[in-house]
Chain A
Amino acid sequence: DAGVIQSPRHEVTEMGQEVTLRCKPISGHNSLFWYRQTMMRGLELLIYFNNNVPIDDSGMPEDRFSAKMPNASFSTLKIQPSEPRDSAVYFCASSLNGNTIYFGEGSWLTVV
């Protein structure tokens, strides 16, 4: 079975550019999570969805960050405009009814 699929795996972009990260959750899962991992702050929950509806976005750093889940099989995390401090690994994860959370391989973002 396919796990959580994220793209791109690596992205290097210039400050000010728009960045879009994509995620395909495990088929049948109804919860989707976006996390950001840095050395300084560890693994932070940015936003999570239940049944495609955003439940808690209190972890989203600022208005430059936005996330959508137009259907059960796709979600995006967008940063516009990007800044160097956004450099991090962004993980998408999914679960079924709060059971085991499965993580994608992550998207490594570098903003120069």
Chain B
Amino acid sequence: SQELEQSPQSLIVQEGKNLTINCTSSKTLYGLYWYKQKYGEGLIFLMMLQKGGEEKSHEKITAKLDEKKQQSSLHITASQPSHAGIYLCGADVTGTYKYIFGTGTRLKVLA
């Protein structure tokens, strides 16, 4: 959806490098999700952020929601080949549980 813009669209990094993926909206985000998808499979839930300024971590992945609740970033520290896949941000932009998704960021990690 154009209401949620993700950048970059694709990313190739060397194993061990850090990387950041961004998700931006022109509207207030009432709930922001990050998912990971491998080709041919469903979406795996990573994290949910709801409060402005909130930050959550899971293993080597950290996600933040800015104070204005219009942008989120996903940061991977010391990337590994297992991190490869498509990362999607999803959000409720209407406050009515209508969840839309960004176009995704394709990540490849070179061993």
Which residues does A use to contact B, with CB under 8 Å? 31, 33, 35, 42-45, 48, 50, 55-56, 91, 93, 95, 97-106
A91 near B43 with CB under 8 A, answer: yes
Q: Nearest CB to that of A41 among chain B residues?
A: B103
Q: Which of B12-20, B57-65, B92-100 contacts A (4 or more CB under 8 A)?
A: B92-100
B42 near A103 with CB under 8 A, answer: yes
Partner of A101, one of B41, B90, B96: B90
How many residues belonging to B are interface residues under a CB distance threshold of 8 Å?
A: 21
Partner of B97, one of A31, A35, A91, A106: A31
Partner of A91, one of B42, B45, B104: B42
B95 to chain A, nearest CB (A): 9
B43 to chain A, nearest CB (A): 4
Instruction: Give every chain A residue within 8 A of B104 (Cβ-Cβ).
Output: 42-43
Return 28 A-B CB contacts under 8 Å, by A number: A33-B99, A35-B101, A42-B1, A42-B88, A43-B101, A43-B103, A43-B104, A45-B1, A45-B99, A45-B101, A48-B99, A50-B97, A55-B96, A55-B98, A56-B96, A91-B42, A91-B43, A93-B43, A97-B97, A98-B92, A99-B48, A100-B33, A100-B48, A101-B90, A102-B45, A103-B43, A106-B41, A106-B42
B88 near A98 with CB under 8 A, answer: no
B102 near A42 with CB under 8 A, answer: yes
Q: How far is B101's CA from A97's CA once the two chains are assembled, in angstroms? A: 18
Q: How far is B96's CA from A91's CA once the two chains are assembled, in angstroms? A: 20
B98 near A45 with CB under 8 A, answer: yes
